[in-house]
Structure 1
Amino acid sequence: MTTAPFELTADLHDALQGFLERIPFNKVLGIELGEMTTQKVLMYLPMKPELIGNFLHGILHGGVISSLLDVAGGAMALIGAFERHQHLSGAERLSKLSKLGTIDLRVDYLRPGRGQRFTAQAVLLRSGNKVAVVRTELHSDDGTLVAVGTGTYLCG
């Protein structure tokens, strides 16, 4: 028995977007959703004064960086879990996906977060029965690589 290739349909995309937009912390940070496909997730973060960590240099707070990497990584893990659980009924899938959470997140801060808009890109490294591993990069608006993260997510 073969399974049809997984597609991120418009309905599924809208459901994911609605889910992510309902998280209050994402709103506080000002995270904007970009592209979401089965290959990658893009999210954006406009700089604002409340997100500054070093007020002398006006750079993005490290906690904001790790949060953005985690949100983008979690979204990518969720898409991977949708693909793995596509054979389940809607209720069963929702039950499994409601358990999504971060198990571990490693962040390497490479350069100061200077800029007016930041881009996080997440790609799925592995999606297993219970755990997904995602790699995420954060770039400033001039293309500078600011930080990278590897997240492990419970998703099943």
Structure 2
Amino acid sequence: MHKAPFELTAELQEAVRGFFERIPFNQSLGIQIGELAVDKVSMHLPMKPELIGNFVQGILHGGVISALLDVTGGAMALIGAFERHQHLSASERMAKLAKLGTIDLRIDYLRPGRGQQFTAQAVLLRSGNKVAVVRSELHADDGTLVAVGTGTYLCG
């Protein structure tokens, strides 16, 4: 029996968008959701004075970098887990997967976070029954690779 390929419908995209946009910490940072797709998630973060970690150099705080990569990775893990629950409605899927949580997160800070806008992208490396592994990258607005991350998420 051939299974139809998984499609991230507009309804599912809106469910994911709504879930992450309602998180107060994401709102506080100013995270903006970009692309939500089966193979990639992107999010954007405009620089603002409250996010500076080194006030002498005016660079993005490492904790903000980590948080953005974690949120982007979490969204990718959530979308990756959707395929296993195709028999459920969008709201039932979100209720089942609302326990999503980060198990492990490793960040490699490669360069200072300089710029006015940052973009994080995440791709799914593996999605199992309970755990997903995601690879994320953060780029400054000039294309500079600022940091990379690998996250493991509980999503089952």
TM-score interval, normalised by the smaller of the two chains? over 0.9
Bigger mean CA offset, 83-92 vs 13-22: 83-92
Amino acid at match of 1:107: I
Instruction: Tell me what 1:128 maps to.
Output: 128
Query: CA offset at residue 98 of structure 1?
Result: 1.6
Distance 2:43 2:151 in 1: 16
Query: CA offset at residue 94 of structure 1?
Result: 3.7
The alpha-carbon distance between structure 1 residues 11 and 89, as it changes in their structure 2 partners (threshold 3 A), is closer
SS at match of 1:13: helix
Instruction: Tell me what 1:28 maps to.
Output: 28
State, as a whole percentage, how many aligned pairs show the same letter: 80
The alignment of Structure 1 onto Structure 2 pairs a total of residues equal to: 156
Q: Give unpaired runs (5+ residues) of structure 1.
A: none
SS at match of 1:132: strand
Query: CA offset at residue 96 of structure 1?
Result: 2.8
Instruction: Tell me what 1:39 maps to.
Output: 39
Distance 1:90 1:72 in 2: 20
TM-score by length of 2: 0.96
Instruction: Tell me what 2:16 maps to.
Output: 16
Instruction: Tell me what 2:61 maps to.
Output: 61
Q: Give unpaired runs (5+ residues) of structure 2.
A: none
Instruction: Tell me what 1:50 maps to.
Output: 50
**CA displacement, residues 60-86 of structure 1 (integer Å, 9 cap, x when unaligned):** 000000000000000000000111221
